[in-house]
Amino acid sequence: MDTHRTLLSRRGFLAAGAAGTAALAGCANGVNSHGSYRIDQRVDATRSFLFSTFPGSAQLEQKSSGVLWMPLITKAGLGLGGSYGTGALRINNSSVDYYEALQANVGFQIGAQQYAHALFFMTSEALQDFRTSNGWSAGADAEYALIDQGGNLSAETLITLKPVVAMVFAQTGLIAGATLGGTKYRRIIP
């Protein structure tokens, strides 16, 4: 009888262990989490802010094949620096993938700042390259959107032939001149 109880208790222990492992695996890969919902809410607010502050950006979105929205990037540095944030890739204003942005740098820097940015993929090839890469970086093929003194996008930005247009906006903090150089983007399951 004791052998039977021991066998049952071991089976129960193994079943509980297997269930716990499955639950932890679900947490690790975003299954049943609300991370995507939170990111989408932030993207919606960021998109509305950008379009109301810089109306020409809506026209840029209409011309694009897709937009990566990064609603909040936090950057800090004291000699060594880095930044991190999460966002969503939208095609026809529907989220198709979620990404994190990571940046690390060394140099004279002190302070912290937060900002938002959007990458407008102006060609289907640029969008495809982004989606199929393993750790895409903003590089020389990206053009930074120029804002005129009236807060409008410059004509050059709206007619650019560059495959990617980057907009950095809503900056707060003490590090001036946020740049996307060296930022790596990686697909995540929130």
Per-residue pLDDT tens digits for 17-31: 333 333 333 333 444
Residue 9: per-residue pLDDT: 45
Residue 112: per-residue pLDDT: 86
Query: HSE of 30 in the Cβ direction (CA atoms, 13 Å)?
Result: 13
Q: In angstroms, rounded to a whole number, what is the distance separating the alpha carbons of residues 44 and 51? A: 11
Note whether 61 and 43 are within 8 A (CB).
no
- What does the pLDDT look like over 31-60, one tens digit per residue? 456 789 999 999 999 999 999 988 888 999
Note whether 184 and 102 are within 8 A (CB).
yes
Residue 21: per-residue pLDDT: 32
Q: Which residues of the chain have pLDDT under 50?
A: 4-31, 176-177
Nearest to 90 by CA among 136, 33, 43: 43
Q: What's this model's pTM, rounded to 2 decimal places?
A: 0.75
